[in-house]
A and B are shown apart, each in its own frame.
Chain A
């Protein structure tokens, strides 16, 4: 009730401001009251690309005069293809974009600002942060994911561990025990080249990637986190190299890598790979904590492009997907977790205790700031981290080298 009033007031203010500013194509769109019409071209990738059609059918049913065309694009090339399309003036009306791409896309000035009618506070904070660039809001969070700990309960039991590790120390102990007494080849699988697994440790230690435009990966807290992360590989508890296309699922099922951090998609994958009777052998748990147990929040956002010929319908579609009922419906179709906090109250999301772990973790999850050169920074961070794990003498020097590399690229 209050939300609707707020929205109405915001809308009125926005209209007022817009009226003062005079007519300008760069204005943020407003969502019309009536049904959507015309065609909307939507690009999506991965699993979402394949099944989005099921959701858009519902939108078309509610808005009989609209046609939504979904184009699936390859996962690996999605980012590059979207950028290239913008360069060529061929962007679609709506695109599914990665949460770390917003800064870059905003810089191209091709993105349409989100209408004020869409209340950003209904989303998880970490997710909402990913659509804000330079004080403006571009796009809307669609679905989220966050990382939690997956672990083999049977191997843990064998190693004398009865509860999921809750602190860094417990994590290290668990890894050691699983390797020594649980019969596993490794204690845990920590990617050597994935900042999505590494940064949470930095946050948990109280550090951060950057402060404004200065990188702070060489702070004492970040150094401590780097040292801790690296120590697993140093002690042989985790592999000291990660290669392209490595699939953790069979390794987890086999038992060679009994712990790893990942998002909700692995639940389904493990069920499928593990087969019958395997459900009792594994579980998920929130991230172990140091000062906090902050995790990484990812997912995908919707971006609408200024070049769209049907901005109004596009935004109407986007807004529709953020409604709690739609979010819950999408969860049932895809297992993607809703970005809208209200959706979590609905029964569909209360059924699975594992899913609740994710819901809990989402309350403390962050994402890197929307730096325009994030692709480069991420790639360089990964490469430097990978090298450091194998060859840096200690955590402090590793952290310093990583910080130097990303600082050279710059936050602006």
Chain B
């Protein structure tokens, strides 16, 4: 049915159905995004608030200044730290969890699934206070527990060496549920017979895991890795609530999104902040493309 009339009918119906979304996308997303992009080439600051056209064009200045800015470079390092450690932790723990739940914990699986997914659905505003309290070196429950076994816990959020690990722990805690759930479902579709065949060949336990489970789960693993990486590159809420908008001791918790917020929202250096945001965006796109390439070639 590829006649002109049919094509036209499809187009009209298609645009008819997609137009509410397209309109919202255009007005409330694309316009601000483009405006922000334009601003990144200007020195838009607090003095330009009343009259937007008074902002001065500065070309690539903002971008070059960024890489000479200690705080920005540190934020890139911190973000990379978060992603490089956080993503594998989330994926691995999520995977092991899914595999464990898949093995004969059948009855309680529902309970575990809900319990492990709970952190995903709750507001960071509510969670943050609890976590900060738990990590308090003097009255927090973590150090109290460590003290029971004779270890003096560090000042988790105050010591720059343990700041990012604490933030990563919160991030992983919040997101394991997502990974787990995807892997659980993926495991359901792995053909039982593959396991039988492997067992017949003499494989046991971890060997089964390595040679049957992991290869069969590759698409799910890669998908989760991509999504998690993209999300973690933009990590904002966890460091914001744990270390405050300033980024913590030695700015150990300053991620790039937090840097953008600081520059744009607190100091109103909108031009500079937009440039930082778009630099981050470029990293995200590059990473996404790289990972998608890997995904495609396997599928």
Contact = CB atoms under 8 A, between A and B. Distances in A.
| Genuine A/B complex | yes
Contacts of B247: 383
A241 B155 contact: yes
B52 to A, nearest CB: 9
A80 B265 contact: yes
B266 A379 contact: yes
A332 interface: no
Contact of B248 (A243, A375, A379): A243
A244 B243 contact: yes
B61 to A, nearest CB: 15
B250 A108 contact: no
Interface stretch (B28-36, B43-51, B229-237): B43-51
B49 A387 contact: no
A290 interface: no
Contact of B158 (A83, A87, A246, A256): A246
Contacts of A386: 249-250
A309 interface: no
Given A110-B49, A110-B50, A386-B250, A256 B138 contact: yes
Contact of B46 (A239, A244, A256, A372): A372
Contacts of B269: 376
A242 B138 contact: no
Given A83-B46, A108-B50, A383 B138 contact: no
B240 to A, nearest CB: 10
B196 interface: no
Contacts of B159: 241
A244 B50 contact: no
Interface in B247-283: 247-251, 262, 265-269
Contacts of A80: 265-266
B50 A243 contact: no
A250 B140 CA distance: 13
Interface string A345-380: 000000000000000000000000000110110010
A382 B266 CA distance: 15
B59 interface: no
A84 B267 CA distance: 11
B138 A251 contact: yes
B267 A87 contact: no
Given A108-B47, A251-B138, A84 B266 contact: no
Interface string A56-100: 000000000000000000001001100110110000000000000
A108 B262 CA distance: 18
Interface string B114-158: 000000000000000000100000110000000000000001011
Given A108-B50, A372-B46, A244 B268 contact: no
A245 interface: yes
Give the interface size bracket for B toward A. Answer: 20 to 34
A217 B8 CA distance: 72
B265 A245 contact: no
Contact of B157 (A86, A243, A250): A243
Contact of B47 (A107, A241, A242, A375): A107
A383 B244 CA distance: 12
Contacts of A246: 158
Contacts of B168: none
Nearest to A89: B50
B164 interface: no
A386 B245 CA distance: 15
Contacts of B160: 241
Given A80-B266, A379-B262, A387 B250 contact: yes
A104 interface: yes
A242 B158 contact: yes
Interface string A104-141: 10011110000000000000000000000000000000
B180 interface: no
B246 interface: yes
Interface in A222-255: 239, 241-246, 250-251
B290 to A, nearest CB: 33
B242 interface: yes
A383 B266 CA distance: 15
A107 B50 CA distance: 10
Contact of A241 (B249, B267, B268): B249
Contacts of B155: 239, 241, 243
B266 A244 contact: no
Interface string A164-199: 000000000000000000000000000011000000
A87 B160 CA distance: 35
Nearest to B269: A376
Given A242-B158, A243-B249, A79 B47 contact: no
Nearest to B262: A379
Interface in B62-88: 71
A108 B50 CA distance: 7
B184 to A, nearest CB: 36
A3 to B, nearest CB: 36
A132 B249 CA distance: 34
Contact of A244 (B49, B242, B250, B267): B242
Contacts of B243: 243-244
Contact of A376 (B49, B158, B251, B267): B267
Interface of A: 76, 79-80, 83-84, 86-87, 104, 107-110, 192-193, 239, 241-246, 250-251, 256, 372-373, 375-376, 379, 382-383, 386-387, 390
26 contacts: A80-B266, A83-B268, A104-B268, A108-B46, A108-B49, A109-B47, A110-B50, A193-B249, A241-B155, A241-B158, A241-B160, A242-B158, A242-B249, A243-B155, A243-B157, A243-B158, A244-B242, A244-B243, A244-B248, A246-B158, A372-B46, A376-B266, A376-B267, A386-B249, A387-B250, A390-B250
5 cross-chain pairs, A with B, having the tightest CB-CB distances, nearest first: A243-B158, A241-B158, A244-B244, A376-B267, A243-B157
Given A84-B265, A382-B246, 6 more contacts: A80-B266, A108-B49, A243-B243, A244-B248, A256-B138, A383-B71
